[in-house]
């Protein structure tokens, strides 16, 4: 005999042989447990069918196209921009002099303060003078002796000259007197040179600056014994006005410099701020470094206030003329596997466009190739873009209603308007899906 177990909207026939003879209470309990299990399975099936209804997926319409992302754009326009070539250079004095001792002696005085500016012929050191004063006195005494001998030789030659004409003396005697006179004249000349040498050595005891410039550290202290040669270095004097800056350009940069109107050179600090006044090139190398492939150049700058110090590293910026290029905000330039690129808008979709960039122009970047006149360049939300993604462009100077504003950093710091424009549709799409899913639970 068959029995029928009924559940809401479900009926299951059960053979009588499947139910052994059981007490009435146990049979009713078993039937109730089976009914509960079947009811739970039915509720789960209803939940899955509700999720599969239209409107239960993500996004409007359950799988429709994603909403267009609002982006700020600027229009690419050709303009004349300067061609600026930059290189790291090192400053050096226009004259750098080693001050050395020229005589042997002890340093008695140091007449300058290290690091001070000095004029040419300003005293720097004084070497003991006594030995050289004595040598000068001896040389003068020797000169007086030789001058006395010269006078005697002249008198002798003058006395013998008429006697030789009268044949009163032999010609040999007169010739000897004439030779003695010439020897005395030569000896006096030699003594005069010795006096001059002694005076010169005495003047070398007063060490002076050979040029106008900035003094360096004293290499020898007072009381040190110095002598000419490698051990005689006393200090350095460097002329810092004007100052020179040496730097190097590659062959291509040098060719660009030669084809343009080469000239004005500016110095920039590490943070890009100008240093001093503009200068000019005063040297161009005639050979290429075989290891680096660069050519040395040098520029000269006025430096009356010592803005640039010798040995300081600076950035040299040379104006090599003008060129036609597009000026794009720096935030719009991205680095791709193939080099620099920008995001442009075409037919309402974002497309990456490779570009060739030049130097910086103010707050923008000069783009030489890759863009066309009137192209719309995206300047924000760059990190959220994908090739072919739909976008809603608006001018960068007029943000969209959501409050999006272009922010440097390639979209990493984009305003809430960019994120809000995509979050609102997602929230509205999720609402219809939650309602059907909650009905079975009630």
Q: What are the pLDDT digits (tens) for 266-320? A: 999 888 888 989 999 999 888 999 999 999 999 999 999 999 999 999 999 998 8
- pLDDT of residue 66 exceeding 50: yes
Token pair of 277 as six digits: 């006044």
Top-confidence residue, 1 or 182: 182
198 in a domain, yes or no?
yes
Position 105 pLDDT exceeds 90: yes
CATH number at residue 158: 1.10.287.470
Asked whether residue 195 is assigned to any structural domain, the reply reads yes
344 lies in which domain range?
Answer: 69-81+324-416
Query: pLDDT value at position 314?
Result: 94
The whole-model pTM stands at: 0.60
Angle between helices 171-204 and 130-165 (to 10 degrees): 160
Q: Give the model's confidence band at 27: pLDDT under 50 very low, under 70 low, under 90 confident, else very high.
A: low
pLDDT digits (tens, 9 = 90+) for 191-243: 999 999 999 999 999 999 999 999 999 999 999 999 998 889 999 999 999 99
Antiparallel, parallel or unpaired: β 213-215 and 233-250 = antiparallel
Q: What is the C-alpha separation between 98 and 215, in angstroms, rounded?
A: 10
Beta strands 123-127 and 206-208, pairing class: antiparallel
What CATH number is given to the structural domain containing 338? Answer: 2.40.420.20
CA 295-300-302 angle, 5° bins: 160
Q: Is 211 inside any structural domain?
A: no
Last-in-domain residue among 158, 182, 204: 204
Indicate if 74 and 154 belong to the same structural domain. no
Whole-number pLDDT of residue 138:
97
- H/E stretch holding 98 reads strand 78-100
The tokens for 419 are 């994120």
Lowest-pLDDT choice from 125-134, 191-200, 428-437: 428-437
Least confident interval from 90-104, 212-226, 378-392, 408-422: 408-422
Tell me whether residue 398 is in a domain.
yes
**331 lies in a domain?**
yes
- Angle between helix 24-51 and 416-438 (nearest 10): 150
Domain-embedded: residue 13 = no
Reported as a pLDDT band with limits 50, 70 and 90, residue 324 is confident
Mean model confidence pLDDT for the chain: 79
As a whole number of angstroms, the distance between CA 164 and CA 333 comes to 108
Whether residues 328 and 411 share a domain: the answer is yes
**Same domain membership, residue 196 and residue 137:** yes
Tell me the backbone φ, ψ of residue 438, rounded to 5 degrees: -90, -10
My answer on whether 77 and 144 are in the same domain is: no
Summarize the confidence of residues 75-91 as an average pLDDT. Answer: 89
- Based on the structure, what is the number of domains in the chain? 2
At which of 178, 204, 230 does a domain end? 204
Residues 330 and 403 in one domain: yes
* 266 is a domain residue: no
Report whether pLDDT(425) > 90: no
Is residue 182 helix, strand or coil? helix
pLDDT of 12 over the 50 cut: no
Q: By CB neighbour count within 10 A (0-12 exposed, 13-18 middle, 19+ buried), where does 408 fall?
A: middle
Between 42-46, 164-168, 170-174, 348-352, the lowest mean confidence (pLDDT) is in 42-46
Q: Is the residue at 365 inside a domain?
A: yes
Check: CB of residue 50 under 8 Å from CB of residue 56. Answer: yes
Residues 339 and 406 in one domain: yes
Tokens for 237? 């004097």
Kindly state whether residues 393 and 332 are assigned to the same domain. Answer: yes
What confidence score (pLDDT) does residue 26 get? 56
Of the candidates 150, 179, 204, which is a domain's last residue?
Answer: 204
The region, left, alpha or beta by phi > 0 then psi within -120 to 50, assigned to residue 57 is beta
Residue 305 contacts by C-beta under 8 Å, 6 or more apart in sequence? 276
Q: How sure is the predictor about 432, in pLDDT bands with cuts at 50, 70 and 90?
A: very low
């Amino acid at each position: 005999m068959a029995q029928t177990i009924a559940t809401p909207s479900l009926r299951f026939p059960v053979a009588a042989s499947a139910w052994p003879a059981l007490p009435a209470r146990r049979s009713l309990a078993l039937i109730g447990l089976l009914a509960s299990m079947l009811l739970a399975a039915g509720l789960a099936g209803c939940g899955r069918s509700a999720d599969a209804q239209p409107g239960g997926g993500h996004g409007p319409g359950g799988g429709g196209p994603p909403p267009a992302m609002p982006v700020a754009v600027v229009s690419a326009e050709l303009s004349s921009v300067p061609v600026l070539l930059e290189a790291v250079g090192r400053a050096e004095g226009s004259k750098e002099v080693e001050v050395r001792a020229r005589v042997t002696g002890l340093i008695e005085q140091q007449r300058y303060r290290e690091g001070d500016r000095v004029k040419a012929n300003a005293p720097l050191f004084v070497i003991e003078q006594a030995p050289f004063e004595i040598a000068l006195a001896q040389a003068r005494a020797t000169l007086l002796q030789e001058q006395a001998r010269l006078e005697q030789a002249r008198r002798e030659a003058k006395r013998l000259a008429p006697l030789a004409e009268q044949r009163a003396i032999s010609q040999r005697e007169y010739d000897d007197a004439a030779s003695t006179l010439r020897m005395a004249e030569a000896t006096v000349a030699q003594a005069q040179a010795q006096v001059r040498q002694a005076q010169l050595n005495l003047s070398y005891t007063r060490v002076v600056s050979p040029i106008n410039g900035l003094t360096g550290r004293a290499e020898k202290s007072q009381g040190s014994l110095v002598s000419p040669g490698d051990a005689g270095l006393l200090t350095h004097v460097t002329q810092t006005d004007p100052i020179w800056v040496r730097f190097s350009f590659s062959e291509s940069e040098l060719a660009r410099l030669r084809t343009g109107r080469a000239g004005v050179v500016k110095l920039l600090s590490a943070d890009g701020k100008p240093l001093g006044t503009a200068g000019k090139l005063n040297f161009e190398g005639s050979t290429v470094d075989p290891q680096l492939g660069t050519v040395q150049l040098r520029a000269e700058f006025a430096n009356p206030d010592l803005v640039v110090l010798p040995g300081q590293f600076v950035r040299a910026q040379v104006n090599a003329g003008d060129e036609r290029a597009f000026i794009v905000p720096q935030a719009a330039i991205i680095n791709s596997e193939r080099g620099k690129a920008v995001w442009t808008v075409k037919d309402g979709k974002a497309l990456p466009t490779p570009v060739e960039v030049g130097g910086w122009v103010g707050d923008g970047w000069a783009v030489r190739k890759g863009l066309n006149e009137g192209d719309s360049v995206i300047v924000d939300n760059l990190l959220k873009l994908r090739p072919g993604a739909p976008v809603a462009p608006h001018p960068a100077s007029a943000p969209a209603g959501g409050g999006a504003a272009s922010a440097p950093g390639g979209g990493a710091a984009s305003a809430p308007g960019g994120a809000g424009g995509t979050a609102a549709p997602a929230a509205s799409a999720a609402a219809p899906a939650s309602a059907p899913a909650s009905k079975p639970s009630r």
